[in-house]
Amino acid sequence: MRFRGWLWVFLGTVLVLVLVGVFVAPDRTQTQRFEDLPWQIEVLAEDRTRVLGIELGRTTLRELAGLLPVPDIRLFVEPDGTRTVEAFYANARIPPFEANLVLVPGLDEAGMNFVWEERTSERPMPSGARRHGLSDDALRMLGGTPIVEMSYIPRARWNPEQVRERFGEPAGLLRIGDDQTYWLYPDRGVAIMIPAGRGRVLMHFVTQERWVQVVERLEQAGQRLLEGT
């Protein structure tokens, strides 16, 4: 009889613990909330915009070390002589999305001239541009230079309806050739390339002070494409 009494006590304790687990434990079915999503853009000043956890105009490449994959940093020289430094991150994960990132450090003329003198290898590109490797001294200098532009290419395919739902109606459209159209959001410094086919959407983020320059660059790219065809 004593054994049977202890058995009932034990079973009762187990039942209480099960009920506590059911009614007190956190609900795992709740939707997880994410921050730093591509459409969550905060314009802080003319020269500073925060998006995807990166503050354009302040965050440096060095500060992103350990948070993003190791980038491939190159100097590109266009046929017209325009020079740009780009840091390419393959398969970067900023939850919940995975994407390729291109970050552009803001270099003044002196900084760009220093990078130019520190170029190493050279390789032609299909576009007619030249791609150069950079010395360790140039990479160290670039590591401390604030980022001013960012291109974000999500691995998932976004259709125009999804872009419109998350970013809203664009303030304007800029067509680049027959298969690309940029949706322009000047109040947030975003130009989103919408492909005509099954290509991937590209989102380009810039600070407010660079917006006009970026749109002019896109227009020139469209003109070169038109002339080439």
pLDDT digits (tens, 9 = 90+) for 64-73: 998 899 999 9
pLDDT at position 223 is 60
Bridge partners (DSSP) listed for residue 73: 87
The answer to whether residues 147 and 105 touch, using CB atoms and an 8 Å cutoff, is yes
The answer to whether residues 190 and 154 touch, using CB atoms and an 8 Å cutoff, is no
Under the banding of pLDDT at 50, 70 and 90, the label for residue 123 is very high
Q: Is the dihedral of CA 10, 12, 14, 16 positive or negative?
A: negative
- Predicted confidence (pLDDT) at residue 126 exceeds the cutoff of 60: yes
- Predicted confidence (pLDDT) at residue 104 exceeds the cutoff of 60: yes
**pTM of the shown model:** 0.81
CA distance 80 to 117: 19
The answer to whether residues 80 and 96 touch, using CB atoms and an 8 Å cutoff, is no
Please, what is the Cα angle at 57 between 192 and 223, to 5 degrees? 40
CA distance 85 to 69: 18
pLDDT at position 13 is 55
- Predicted confidence (pLDDT) at residue 189 exceeds the cutoff of 80: yes
CA distance 197 to 213: 28
What the block records as the tokens of 228 is: 């080439």
pLDDT at position 176 is 82
State what percent of residues in the chain have pLDDT above 90. 64
